[in-house]
């Protein structure tokens, strides 16, 4: 029987189709699977590449199928309305990359016309972008004749970038790498990797088999139905070569994977967890919140069905691990209770330090560095803390911190930090560790006390710690240096750059919001989002200002109505607000027009059939087809209560502002296809 490959771009089209059309696509493909050998239902089309044929879905829609010259391996490349599908196919050509042996698609006509324009009107003044690279090197990197001619003429990186969806992907990546200043060898190891076994450059069927990140081979109808049932979970089937390598490699010690939003860090973490558990290891897969642990559990279930393997993966927050390690019952102070304790101590001592200052000093300095006595505190580094303290002031502050700790001990009271501290000490003392491997997602927000728990929960050695995170998405005030915690990742760090979630329009707009911010990595270097890109295009984010909150919420309701009418499911929409009360008001505004919505909180996760509304903090790590960020008003973002006054502590003030900006960035980058931002009154300065 003919086998059918599904190209990943096709799934991208599939999710955008209305449901009845989706069903027809599935039926057509199932029928195709059974009768492909006859070839009768494939129609010839006027295309440059004669191997492209069309398949009828219904009166309006057509699929484009690649039928190679040899073998019976067909690949579904595209589904669209008749005219769009034919227009797409007309000028495409498929080829085999000479360096990787992977299948590539190009829009030959656009490349030809770019070549023509450049040869007729050469820019005599400008230097060709790749003048410094020899033809032999370009050929070795897989650049073929047509693209070589282009590479010899192009002088402008912007032109190169605008052709990203037109040039064959592997060759585009090579040119972008070289244009960004990487050496031939660096580009070779990044894009090509290891040299492919000798192959036939005309054998497209074999090329497809070598391209698992683009083409998934479906073995039978069940697998196909499963693929279509969860089209967004493409990551189960298509891992990018770098993702696969990072997920499955053996590391001699702690390793980390970095990358901007939506680059697949969680996907890599999930594949790694499954792989290590399948090899018999006891794995902790941990992340920041319980909402996220639930999302990880659901995703793991999509990836692995073997209960025995799943039973070896513990998906828990660090706090849950710490509580289990400490055992017994204890009383946790709420934030308000904790502040009350600080307030009383400060009042008793007639101190003019503020509660938030001493509370932060305890968290960011004393606990972060696990300081045991005044001597330690007198010489401790206070980086990130703006207000300078002389020795006398330090001694005063230490007495306040010590009194706070005594109060906790006397009342048998705890905060999550003290539970973690006790857990880390217990685990450090135990020769037997609860896990063989620890995998951390959303690592950028973990406080050092939590890192100590993780470090102590696994013995040092190969594959001990695997860390995934993005410091641009740091939305809590936890600064950490992995090195200071004894976690060395030098030489075992990889950066992912391709965003699989968001359209280029949403990603670029969101990244623009952070440009100019100085953001430090977990190892202390400054990092940027340069290179993070999306291959998918869509509409630009929409911005809308209203004069009143009521008008803004009415507009939100209309937007959500439009999305639902277009076939988006309620749970595929996410509404984010800076504050929980505004997110709750959105529920009421939607209910007023008959849309079922609910507020997602620690206790309540996203449920089917309801439009979820939540705080921006809760959006972290989640994703939705359509996102509306509401209340992006000057009086709400940055939130006044979250910003330390400049006069009190300037460094903390600027950190707080950056964190609020990152929070908006996180909320916006949760959107796959549509993003709408709205405000009432004046817009937030972050939108400037």
Q: Binding site membership for ATP: which residues?
A: 259-266
Q: How far is the CB of 101 from ligand ATP (least distance, A)?
A: 19
Residue 355 touching ligand ATP (CB under 6 A): no
Q: Which of residues 471-490 bind ligand ATP (CB under 6 A)?
A: 473
Residue 624 touching ligand ATP (CB under 6 A): no
Tell me the C-alpha distance between 559 and 437, whole Å: 45
Residue 265 touching ligand ATP (CB under 6 A): yes
Residue 665 touching ligand ATP (CB under 6 A): no
**Residues in the chain, overall count:** 688
CB atoms within 10 A of CB 154: 22
8 A C-beta contact, residue 440 and residue 470: no
User: Taking contact as CB under 6 A, which single stretch among the options 37-45, 257-265, 339-347, 512-520 is the one that binds ligand ATP?
Assistant: 257-265
264, 541, 574, 683: residue in contact with ligand ATP (rule CB under 6 A):
264
Tell me the C-alpha distance between 575 and 570, whole Å: 11
x/- string (CB under 6 A) for ligand ATP, residues 666-685?
---x----------------
Instruction: For the chain, report the end-to-end CA distance as a whole number of angstroms.
Output: 58
Task: Report CA dihedral (644, 651, 337, 606) to the nearest 10 degrees.
Answer: 80
63, 261, 541, 570: residue in contact with ligand ATP (rule CB under 6 A):
261
Find tokens 């670029």 and name the residue: 508
101, 259, 612, 638: residue in contact with ligand ATP (rule CB under 6 A):
259
Residue positions forming the annotated binding site: 259-266
8 A C-beta contact, residue 581 and residue 613: no
Paired strand residues for 626:
573, 674
Q: How far is the CB of 577 from ligand ATP (least distance, A)?
A: 19
Q: Which of residues 185-244 bind ligand ATP (CB under 6 A)?
A: 232-235, 238-240, 243
Q: How far is the CB of 102 from ligand ATP (least distance, A)?
A: 14
Q: How far is the CB of 70 from ligand ATP (least distance, A)?
A: 28
263, 287, 293, 418: residue in contact with ligand ATP (rule CB under 6 A):
263
Burial class (CB in 10 A: 0-12, 13-18, 19+), 289: middle
8 A C-beta contact, residue 238 and residue 213: yes
Residue 267 touching ligand ATP (CB under 6 A): yes
**Eight-state DSSP code of residue 571:** G
Tell me the C-alpha distance between 99 and 241, whole Å: 14
Residue 534 touching ligand ATP (CB under 6 A): no
Q: How far is the CB of 376 from ligand ATP (least distance, A)?
A: 35
Residue 663 touching ligand ATP (CB under 6 A): no
Tell me the C-alpha distance between 676 and 678, whole Å: 7
Interface with ligand ATP: number of residues (CB under 6 A): 23
Residue 262 touching ligand ATP (CB under 6 A): yes
Q: How far is the CB of 617 from ligand ATP (least distance, A)?
A: 13
Q: How far is the CB of 213 from ligand ATP (least distance, A)?
A: 6
| Closer residue to ligand ATP (CB): 243 or 316 | 243
| Closer residue to ligand ATP (CB): 261 or 612 | 261
| Closer residue to ligand ATP (CB): 318 or 666 | 666
274, 501, 674, 680: residue in contact with ligand ATP (rule CB under 6 A):
501
Residue 625 touching ligand ATP (CB under 6 A): no
Angle between helices 290-303 and 265-278 (to 10 degrees): 60
Q: How far is the CB of 676 from ligand ATP (least distance, A)?
A: 19
> What are phi and psi for residue 615, nearest 5 degrees?
-75, 160
x/- string (CB under 6 A) for ligand ATP, residues 593-622?
----------------------------x-
Question: What is the CA 36 to chain-centroid distance, rounded?
Answer: 38
What are the distances in angstroms from CA 514 to CA 518, 527, 636, 672, 674? Answer: 9, 12, 19, 19, 20
User: Taking contact as CB under 6 A, which single stretch among the options 64-72, 116-124, 170-178, 255-263 is the one that binds ligand ATP?
Assistant: 255-263
Residue 623 touching ligand ATP (CB under 6 A): yes
CA-based nearest residue to 140, from 96, 90, 174: 174
> What are phi and psi for residue 419, nearest 5 degrees?
-65, -45
3-state secondary structure of 289: coil
3-state secondary structure of 231: coil
The beta-carbon contacts of 179-184 under 8 Å, at least 24 apart in sequence, are: 179/129, 179/130, 180/531, 184/133, 184/137, 184/140, 184/141
Residue 14 touching ligand ATP (CB under 6 A): no
| Closer residue to ligand ATP (CB): 262 or 570 | 262
Tell me the C-alpha distance between 439 and 242, whole Å: 18
Binding footprint of ligand ATP on the chain (CB under 6 A): 232-235, 238-240, 243, 259, 261-267, 470, 473, 500-501, 621, 623, 669
């Amino acid at each position: 029987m003919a086998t059918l490959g599904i190209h990943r771009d096709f799934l991208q089209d599939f999710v955008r189709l209305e449901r009845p059309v989706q069903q027809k696509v599935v039926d057509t493909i199932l029928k195709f699977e059974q009768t492909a050998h006859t070839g009768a239902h494939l129609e010839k089309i006027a295309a440059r590449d004669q191997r492209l044929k069309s398949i009828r879905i219904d009166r309006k829609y057509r699929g484009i199928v690649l039928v190679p010259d040899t073998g019976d391996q067909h690949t579904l490349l595209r589904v669209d309305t008749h005219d769009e599908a034919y227009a797409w196919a007309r000028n495409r050509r498929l080829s085999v990359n000479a360096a990787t042996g992977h299948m590539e698609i190009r829009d030959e006509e656009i490349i030809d016309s770019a070549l023509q324009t450049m040869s007729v009107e050469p820019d005599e003044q400008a230097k060709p972008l790749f003048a410094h690279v020899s033809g032999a090197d370009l050929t070795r990197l897989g650049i073929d004749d047509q693209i070589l001619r282009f590479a010899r003429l192009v002088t402008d990186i912007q032109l190169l970038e605008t052709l990203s969806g037109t040039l064959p992907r592997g060759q585009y990546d090579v040119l972008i790498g070289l244009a960004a200043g990487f050496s031939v060898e660096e580009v070779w190891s990044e894009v090509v990797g290891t040299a492919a076994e000798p192959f036939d450059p005309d054998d497209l069927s074999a090329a497809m088999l070598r391209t698992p990140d683009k083409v998934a081979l479906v073995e039978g109808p069940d697998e196909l139905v499963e693929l279509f049932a969860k089209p967004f979970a493409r990551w189960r089937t298509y891992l990018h070569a770098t993702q696969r390598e990072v997920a499955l490699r053996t590391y001699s010690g702690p390793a980390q994977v970095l990358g901007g939003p939506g680059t697949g860090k969680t996907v890599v973490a999930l594949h790694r967890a499954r792989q290590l558990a399948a090899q018999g290891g006891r794995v902790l897969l941990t992340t920041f919140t319980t909402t996220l642990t639930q999302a990880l559990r659901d995703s793991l279930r999509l990836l692995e069905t073997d209960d025995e393997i799943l039973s070896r993966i513990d998906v828990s927050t660090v706090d849950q691990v710490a509580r289990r390690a400490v055992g017994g019952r204890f009383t946790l102070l709420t934030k308000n209770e904790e502040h009350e304790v600080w307030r009383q101590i400060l009042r008793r001592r007639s101190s003019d330090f503020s509660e938030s200052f001493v509370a932060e000093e305890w968290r960011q300095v004393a606990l972060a560095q696990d300081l045991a006595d005044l001597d330690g505190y007198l010489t401790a580094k206070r980086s990130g803390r703006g207000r300078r303290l002389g020795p006398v002031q330090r001694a005063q502050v230490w007495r306040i911190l010590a009194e706070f700790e005594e109060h906790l001990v006397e009342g048998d009271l705890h905060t999550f930090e003290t539970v973690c501290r006790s857990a880390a000490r217990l685990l450090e003392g135990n020769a037997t560790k609860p896990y063989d491997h620890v995998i951390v997602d959303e690592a950028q927000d973990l406080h050092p006390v939590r890192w100590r728990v993780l470090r102590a929960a696994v013995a040092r050695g190969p594959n001990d710690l695997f860390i995934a995170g993005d410091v641009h998405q740091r939305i809590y005030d936890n600064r950490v240096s992995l090195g200071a915690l004894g976690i060395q990742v030098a030489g075992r760090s990889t950066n992912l750059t391709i965003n699989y979630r968001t359209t280029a329009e949403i990603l670029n707009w969101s990244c623009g919001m952070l440009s100019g911010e100085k953001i430090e990595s977990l190892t202390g270097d400054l990092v940027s989002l340069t290179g993070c890109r999306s291959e998918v295009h869509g509409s630009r984010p929409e911005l809308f200002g209203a004069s009143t909150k009521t008008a803004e919420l009415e507009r939100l309701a209309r937007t959500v109505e439009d999305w639902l009418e277009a076939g988006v499911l309620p749970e595929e929409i996410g509404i984010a607000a800076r504050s929980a009360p505004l997110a709750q008001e959105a529920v009421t505004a939607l209910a007023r027009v008959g849309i079922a919505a609910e507020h997602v909180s620690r206790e309540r996760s996203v449920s089917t059939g309801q439009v979820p509304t939540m705080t921006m903090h809760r959006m972290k790590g989640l994703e939705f087809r359509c996102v509306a960020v509401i209340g992006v008003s000057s009086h709400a973002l940055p939130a006044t209560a979250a910003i330390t006054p400049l006069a009190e502590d300037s460094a903390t003030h600027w950190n707080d502002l950056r964190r609020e900006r990152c929070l908006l960035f996180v909320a916006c980058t949760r959107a796959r296809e549509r993003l709408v931002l709205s405000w009432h009154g004046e817009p937030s300065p972050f939108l400037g």
